[in-house]
Amino acid sequence: MFRPRIIPCLLLKGAGLVKTIKFGEPKYIGDPMNAVKIFNDLKADELVFLDIDASKESRTVSFELVKKIGDEAFMPFSVGGGIKNTEDIKKLFSAGVEKVVINTGALENDGLIKKGADIFGSQSIIASIDAKKDANGDYSVFSHGGTKDTGLEPVYAAIKMEKLGAGEILTAAVKIPVIAIGGAGGLNDFALAIYKGRASAVAAGSMFVYSGKNRGILINYPDREELEEIFKDKKLKKIC
């Protein structure tokens, strides 16, 4: 039975784990290493770590922290944050990262995605595209942790990254695998993203770190039986 990847997307602010809602003020939710241990026990498919301040502060995600994550994580994980050149990519792979996530660096330097894909392979490069409404109410691509409007139309940016050699993209409208992220409130939303949105994998943040209406911090992950049930044909027909 087909079962897509379900990926917790965890936000870093320095050495701490945080969560934002629609690029809003980050809220501290704990130690990333504790989160990794819990997701190990819960048998998560993959993890994604994104340092939300790295590009804004003109620095790279902490290689020391990434190395610690690599030593602890049982599952494949991807990392993004302030990646500016292939040397940064090489260091992250040396620390145990399976894929790198590039956002601002790709928008500021067209050659970074292409060079990274040429050296390390397209399968190891994820181009992340943050799309939100601009002052006119139209969707635009934002960089630097969602703070700088590039003026680029999201579909155009996605297709461009695909042509440059990205192996996966955090958006839609391309032929390469797409990881859908943003706004998931339950497992049914994952099924909709896969079968109606045609994503190849789904990622979420709040759903895996909060619990209940009051958003109490509780790291969680659906078990195999829940995931198999939601992606059964009969269940999907009711949802989609």
- Active site members: 130
Q: Which of 108, 132, 115, 127 is nearest to 55 (CA)?
A: 108
Distances (CA, A) of 112 to 15, 31, 107, 130: 26, 31, 9, 18
User: CB-hemisphere CA count at 13 Å for 7?
Assistant: 26
Contacts 24+ apart (CB under 8 A), 88-91: 88/60, 89/116, 89/119, 89/120, 90/120, 91/63
